[in-house]
Amino acid sequence: MIDLIVIPLLQIVFVLTGVLIAVMYLVLLERKIQAWVQVRLGPMRVGPHGILQPIADVLKLFIKEDITPVKADRWVFTAAPIVVLVPALIAFAVIPFGSSVSLFGKKISLAIADINVGLLYIVAVASLGVYGIILGGWSSNSKYPLLASLRASAQLVSYEVAVTLTFVSVILTAGTLSMVGIVNAQFNNGVWFLFVQPLAFAIYFIGGLAETNRAPFDLPEAEQELVGGFHTEYSGMRFALFFLAEYTNMIIVSSVATTLFLGGWLPPFPNVRALAFLYYVPSWMWFTLKTLLLLYLFLWIRATLPRYRYDQLMRIGWKVLIPLAIANIVVTGAGKVLLGS
Amino acid sequence: MFNTDELVINMGPQHPATHGVLRVVLKLDGEKVVDADVVIGYLHRGIEKLSEHRDWTQIVMLTDRMDYCASAAANLGYCETVEKLLSLEVPRRARYIRTVLAELQRIASHLVWVGSHAMDIGAVTVFLFALRERELVLDLFEEFCGARLTYNSMRIGGVPQDIPPGWDKRVLKFCDIMDEKLAEYETLLTRNRIWLGRTRGIGVISGPEAVAIGLSGPPLRASGVRRDVRKDEPYAAYDEFEFDIPLGSRGDTYDRYLVRLEEFRQSTRIIRQAIEGLPAGPVLGKAPRLIRPPAGETYHANESPKGEIGFFIVSDGKSTSPYRFRVRPPSFCNLQALPRLIRGHLVADVIAVIGTIDIVLGEVDR
C-alpha cells in the first residue's frame, strides 16, 4: 500500500513542486545571466539581488486580468495552454534524478517510474506539446499568432525527427530503452556516452534548442518579427502556462541530455578508483550540477547569437541534422557489429 | 476548395521592430512578401511650417527634434544654410568644434543603428553593448552643451561656447575606447554565420538603382556609389582632414553593415585630427543680434549619419523668420527604397531591411 500509492504520490508532489520552483528560478537565472553578459545588473529590487523576483512575477501574473479575445474559439483557446504544459510536466516521470536515497529505512528510487521504454515515453510525450502551440495560435483568430504557430509546428516536427534519431544511436550503444538502464550502461562502459557519441550529443543539443524554441531558433516567438509569437493574444496566467511550459521543456531537454550523454547521476569517471571519493557527493547533486551546466549553455547561447530565418532553420534541420543523425546511426550500428559487442 | 488569398498583415505602427511609428502593410504569400506599402505620418509635427513662424535662432531648436538620434547633424546643416544666406564667416575654431560634434554624433547615431539592427535580428547583447558606448558620447555632449539628446548645440555663426577644460582629452580617450569596443561588435557579428545568413544577399540594390530612387548616405555607398557630401562639397572643416569613404560592392544588408562599421573608424580618425589640430580663436562669428538674411533662397546639404540632409530656405529679406523652410530628410528618402528592397523576401527580412536603412521616424515625418 505504502509502496504502491503513498511513496509515488509523494514523489510526484516533490518532483512537481521542485520543477515549478526550478522553472521560476530558471527565469531569474536567465535574466541574471543575460544581464551579466550585457553588462547590466538584472533584477535587483525584490529581495537581495532580486532573489524574490520570481515570486513577485508569479503573483503579478495571477492577479492580471485574463482576457479572451472576442473572436477567439473559447474552448480551444482555454485548452491550448493546458495541452502545452501537461506533457511537459509528465515527461519528468521517467527521469532519474539520482540513484536512490534511504528515508526512514526505506530505499526510494529517485525516478518516479523506471519503465523499460522510458526513452520512447519521453519522445511520445514531448511530441504532444506542439498540438497546444498550433491550437493556441489558431484559436486566437489573429494573424501574427497564426503565422507563428505555423512556424512553430513546422519547426518542432522537423527537429523532432533529428532528435529522435540521435536517441536511436544512444539506444544502440546502451542496449536498453530504460533511462536508468542507460545510466547503468554508462557506468559499465566506464565513460559517458558524450565521448562515445559526440556527434549525437551535438545534434541532440542543437535539436533541443530548436524544440524548446530557444535562440537562435526562437522563430515562433520572434518578438521583433511576430510581436509575441503564438501566445500574443494570451494574458495573465494562461500566458504564464505557455511560459512555464517553455522553461519546463528546457529543463527536460537538459535532464534528458544529462541522462543520455553525461552519465546521469554518476560522478565523472565513475569507474576510476582514485576518484571514488566523488561518490560522497549525493547522486542527485551530480545530476543537478550537470543539468544546470547545460541550462547555462542554453542561456549563454541566447545572449550571444542572432536568430536564424525560417527557411535557414528548415534547411539546417532537414539537410544537415537529419542526414548526420542517420549517418551516425549507421556508423554506430556498423561499429557494434564489427566490434562484436 | 482551399482559400489561397494573399494574407494582408499590418506591421506597425505599434510593432516592436519598426523603430517607432512606421506602419508597413505587407501582402504575404505564406511567409513571402509579395508587396509592401509604407504608411508614414504618425509623428508629423509640422516642423517645416512651424519654422516659418519662429525667428531664425529659434529654429535650431526645432531641427533637434527631427532626427533625435543625430540632432547635432541637423543643427549643423541648418546653421550652415543660414550662414550661407547671410554670407557669414565662421571662425576656424568653431568649424573644428562643429566637425568634432558632427562626428561624435555620427558615432552615437551609428551605435543606435548597430544596436537596434542587431537586436532586430536577435542579437540582443550587441544592443546593450552599443548603448553602453553611446552613453559615453552622450556624456561628452552633456559636458559640452548640457543636453543629452536634443542638443541645440550650435548657433548661427559658430557654437554657443568654447569646449570645457579637459574635454578634448576626454574626447580622445573616448576615441580609443570606441576603436577597442568595435572589435567586440565585430566578434559578435562580422563573421557570425547566422549574421551572414541573415544579411548577405538581403535587400540588394544596385548603384544606378540606388541613385534613381534617391538613396543617400551609407545605403548608397554600400551599393558602390562614391558620394559623400563631406568629400564632394566639403563643409565645416572637413576639407582639412584626411579620411576615407568606405564603399560596398554588392549593395546588400551585409555591405551596409560593413560600410557603417568602417565609418566608425573614419569618424574617430577625423575626431583625432580635429582635436589635435584645434586652432585657437573665437568660437562665435559676428552674427547680427537680429538675424534678417537678405532676400534670396539657398540649398545646403550635409552628410548626416543617415545620409544627405539638405535645407532649402527662402528668405524674403523683411521678416525675422524664413519665408519657406524645407528639409530634405535622408530617412524619408531612404525609406522610399523599402518596398523595393523587401519584395520577394521573407517576413523576417523585412525587419532586417528596416534596420539596415536606418530610419528615424521623427525625421521621416517631421
- Residues of A within 8 A of B27 (CB-CB) are none
- The answer to whether residue B265 sits within a structural domain is yes
CATH of residue B144's domain is 1.10.645.10
Q: Flag whether residue A224 sits within 8 Å of chain B, measured between CB atoms.
A: yes
Give the nearest chain A residue to B202 (CA atoms).
A309
- Residues of A within 8 A of B9 (CB-CB) are 143-144, 147
Q: How far is C-alpha B5 from the geometric centre of its chain's CA atoms?
A: 39
**H helix runs in chain A, sequence order:** 7-37, 53-63, 74-90, 118-126, 129-139, 143-174, 179-189, 193-196, 198-211, 223-226, 236-261, 283-304, 310-315, 322-339
Q: What is the pLDDT of residue A161?
A: 87
- The answer to whether residue B2 sits within a structural domain is no
Mean pLDDT of chain A: 83
Contact check, Cβ <8 Å, B122/A307: yes
Contact check, Cβ <8 Å, A308/B197: yes
Q: What is the pLDDT of residue A11?
A: 81
- The answer to whether residue B1 sits within a structural domain is no
Contact check, Cβ <8 Å, B192/A38: no
pLDDT digits (tens, 9 = 90+) for A195-241: 888 888 899 988 888 888 777 877 766 655 666 677 777 888 888 88
User: In this complex, which of B16, B188, B350 lies closest to A304 when CB atoms are compared?
Assistant: B188
- Tell me if A141 sits within 8 A of A69, measured CB to CB: yes
Q: Flag whether residue A71 sits within 8 Å of chain B, measured between CB atoms.
A: no
User: In this complex, which of B15, B129, B349 lies closest to A227 when CB atoms are compared?
Assistant: B15
Which H/E stretch holds residue B284? none
How many other C-beta atoms can be found within 10 angstroms of the C-beta atom of residue B131?
A: 16
How many other C-beta atoms can be found within 10 angstroms of the C-beta atom of residue A313?
A: 22
Cα–Cα distance, A181 to B140 (Å, whole number): 64
Contact check, Cβ <8 Å, B16/A223: yes
Distances, alpha carbon B346 to alpha carbons B23, B235, B352, in Å: 17, 41, 10
Evaluate whether ipTM surpasses 0.85: no
Contact check, Cβ <8 Å, B198/A227: no
- In angstroms, the separation between the Cα of residue A128 and the nearest Cα of chain B is 25
Cα–Cα distance, A80 to A128 (Å, whole number): 11
Contact check, Cβ <8 Å, A308/B350: no
Q: Flag whether residue A320 sits within 8 Å of chain B, measured between CB atoms.
A: no
- In angstroms, the separation between the Cα of residue B345 and the nearest Cα of chain A is 11
Give the nearest chain A residue to B15 (CA atoms).
A227
Q: Flag whether residue A310 sits within 8 Å of chain B, measured between CB atoms.
A: yes
Under the banding of pLDDT at 50, 70 and 90, the label for residue A194 is confident
Domain borders along chain A are 67-339
- Nearest 10 degrees: Cα torsion B291, B294, B298, B300: -30
Domain limits for position B286: 7-365
Q: What is the pLDDT of residue A18?
A: 86
Domain count of the fold of chain B: 1
Of A36-40, A266-270, A284-288, B47-51, where does mean pLDDT reach its minimum? A266-270
Contact check, Cβ <8 Å, B197/A218: no
- In angstroms, the separation between the Cα of residue A233 and the nearest Cα of chain B is 14
Q: What is the pLDDT of residue A221?
A: 65
- In angstroms, the separation between the Cα of residue B179 and the nearest Cα of chain A is 19
User: In this complex, which of A34, A225, A303 lies closest to B348 when CB atoms are compared?
Assistant: A225
Tens place of pLDDT per residue across chain B (366 aa): 566 677 788 887 777 666 778 888 888 887 788 888 888 888 888 888 888 888 888 888 888 888 888 888 889 999 989 888 888 888 888 989 999 999 999 999 999 999 888 888 888 888 888 888 899 999 999 988 888 888 888 888 888 888 888 888 899 999 999 888 888 888 888 888 888 888 888 888 888 888 998 888 898 898 888 888 888 888 888 888 888 888 888 888 899 999 999 999 899 999 988 888 888 888 888 878 888 888 888 999 988 898 899 999 998 888 888 888 899 989 888 888 888 888 888 888 888 888 888 888 888 888
pLDDT digits (tens, 9 = 90+) for A109-152: 777 777 888 888 888 888 888 888 888 888 888 777 887 888 78
- The answer to whether residue B358 sits within a structural domain is yes
Q: Flag whether residue A303 sits within 8 Å of chain B, measured between CB atoms.
A: yes
Q: What is the pLDDT of residue A125?
A: 87
ω into A87 cis (within 30 of 0):
no
Under the banding of pLDDT at 50, 70 and 90, the label for residue A27 is confident
Stated length of chain A: 341
Contact check, Cβ <8 Å, B125/A144: no
- Tell me if B350 sits within 8 A of B88, measured CB to CB: no
Q: What is the pLDDT of residue B312?
A: 92
Contact check, Cβ <8 Å, B132/A39: yes
In this complex, how many residue pairs, one in chain A and one in chain B, have their CB atoms less than 8 Å apart?
A: 83
- In angstroms, the separation between the Cα of residue B157 and the nearest Cα of chain A is 42
Q: Flag whether residue A33 sits within 8 Å of chain B, measured between CB atoms.
A: no
Contact check, Cβ <8 Å, A312/B17: no
